[in-house]
Amino acid sequence: MNSSGDREVLLIVHPDRESTTGAARDVAIRLAAAGIRLRVVDDEVRRLIEPPGGHLPCTVVTSSDEPAAGTELVFVLGGDGTLLRAAEVARPAGVPVLGVNLGRVGFLTEADYDALGETVDRVVERRYRIEERMTVDVTVTHGDVVTADTWALNEASIEKSSRERILDALVEVDGRPVSSFGCDGVLCSTPTGSTAYAFSAGGPVVWPDVEALLVVPSNAHAMFSRPLVVSRDSVITVDVDPHGSSAVLTCDGLRHFDLERGSRIRVVAGAVPVRLARLWEGPFTDRLVHKFSLPVTSWRERQARLS
């Protein structure tokens, strides 16, 4: 971590939200007042945070391969999609990501917009802890040729490339076939991703400190198409039928790769985690209830209040 006199934070914002301008400028002014330099990834963000008639110490790193390298923190204003984009630049540099939610659910973000001031204060005072989240490494081969080599924090999704077609897939775990079926897709998820796309596809919610991988078929035409929870050390492979239709691999909704017929997708626990900055103590259960607005009052308690 940088010394107190040489601190720098990379600011990443969602460019299309009306609330972004005020929030980004507020964060920039507060950090600058504390002697913390800002780094941004393009001139548009720099113009967004500049106060009228004023100037903030800010570095634009448009051409850097690792824009987060050397910073203390990546500060994100937006929803989970913005945070996932921020994780792309933070992960190679080993820099933690802190998200303030300007979207809807914002499951990965740490604070809501109404706590923005307190969030910045905690950053200034270094009152946050670091939590490492498991990722997955994904390799695609076609025959003996590697056609893609990528990663994901939430999930790697293998899906049919045409709405009218069915994806014929064979799922294997640790070199042994488990099931083959026609489907819309197969999701290979981390515990972090269990509350994202995999959740929508009917997968289980897995606590983030559980060391496991998930395999979740999407709209599978098969008697056995249940979600699987396998060991962190397992190797998951999904084979695309060489006589079926082509497919597409999408990682975290950001990185897309066309899959030829006969492609094999190999998914394993990632070698490099994503580091998240956490401000508030408390169990994951409370976060789950809060983010999904889950009812936690029994029908007996509700009846007692009405009587």
Among this protein's residues, is 80 annotated catalytic?
A: yes
Do residues 187 and 157 lie in contact, with contact meaning Cβ atoms separated by under 8 Å? yes
Number of C-beta neighbours around residue 39 at 10 A: 24
Cα separation of 77 and 185, whole Å?
31
Cα separation of 118 and 123, whole Å?
9
Cα separation of 63 and 61, whole Å?
6
Nearest-10 Cα torsion for 204, 284, 272, 15: 90
Number of C-beta neighbours around residue 70 at 10 A: 15
Token couple for 197: 């796309």
Q: Which of 16, 64, 263, 14 minimizes the C-alpha distance to 27?
A: 14
Which residues, in sequence order, are CB contacts of 137 under 8 Å at separation 6+? Answer: 150, 151, 267, 268, 269, 270, 271
Identify the active-site residue in 6, 42, 43, 80. 80
Bridge partners, 11 (sequence order): 75
Which amino acid is present at 267? V
Which sequence positions are flagged as catalytic?
Answer: 80
